[in-house]
Amino acid sequence: MTDSNQTCDVGQESVPYMTCLIHILEAWFDVEQLEDYLNFANYLLWVFTPLILLILPYFTIFLLYLTIIFLHIYKRKNVLKEAYSHNLWDGARKTVATLWDGHAAVWHGYEVHGMEKIPEEGPALIIFYHGAIPIDFYYFMAKIFIHKGRTCRVVADHFVFKIPGFSLLLDVFCALHGPREKCVEILRSGHLLAISPGGVREALISDETYNIIWGNRKGFAQVAIDAKVPIIPMFTQNIREGFRSLGGTRLFRWLYEKFRYPFAPMYGGFPVKLRTYLGDPIPYDPKITAEELAEKTKNAVQALIDKHQRIPGNIMSALLERFQKKQKIN
pLDDT number for residue 92: 82
Domains for the chain: give ranges and CATH numbers. 59-321 (3.40.1130)
Q: Tell me, what's the pLDDT at 329?
A: 55
Spatial contact of 243 and 133, defined as CB atoms under 8 Å apart: yes
Q: How many angstroms separate the CA atoms of 153 and 189, rounded?
A: 12
**pLDDT value of position 29:** 56
Asked if the bond preceding 230 is cis, omega within 30° of 0, the reply is no
pLDDT at 80: 46
- Identify the pLDDT of residue 73: 63
The edge-to-edge listing of strands for the beta sheet with 275-278 is: 111-113, 275-278, 231-237, 124-128, 192-195, 152-155, 175-176
How many other C-beta atoms are found inside a 10 Å radius of the C-beta of residue 53?
Answer: 15
The CA radius of gyration of the chain, in Å to the nearest whole number, is 25
Nearest to 239 by CA among 129, 81, 113, 322: 129
Contacts for 168 with CB less than 8 Å, ≥ 6 apart: 68, 71, 72, 75
Is the backbone peptide bond immediately before 57 cis, with ω within 30 degrees of 0?
A: no
pTM for this predicted structure: 0.78
Looking at residue 3, what is its pLDDT? 44
pLDDT tens per residue across all 330 residues of the chain: 444 444 455 444 555 655 666 666 556 655 556 556 566 666 666 766 776 667 777 777 788 878 887 876 676 565 445 544 556 677 788 888 888 998 899 899 999 999 999 999 999 999 999 999 999 999 999 999 989 999 999 999 999 999 998 998 999 889 999 899 999 999 999 999 999 999 999 999 999 999 999 999 999 999 999 999 999 999 999 999 999 999 988 999 999 989 888 988 898 889 999 999 999 999 999 999 999 999 999 999 999 999 999 999 999 999 988 887 655 555
From the list 134, 127, 165, the residue with the least C-alpha distance to 282 is: 127
Q: In a 10 Å sphere around its CB, with 0-12 CB exposed, 13-18 middle and 19+ buried, how is residue 240 labelled? A: buried
Which pLDDT does position 84 carry in this prediction?
Answer: 45
H/E run at residue 93: helix 90-108
Residues labelled catalytic: 130
DSSP β-ladder status, 13-16 and 7-10? antiparallel
| CA 214 vs CA 130, 222, 289: distances in Å | 10, 15, 17
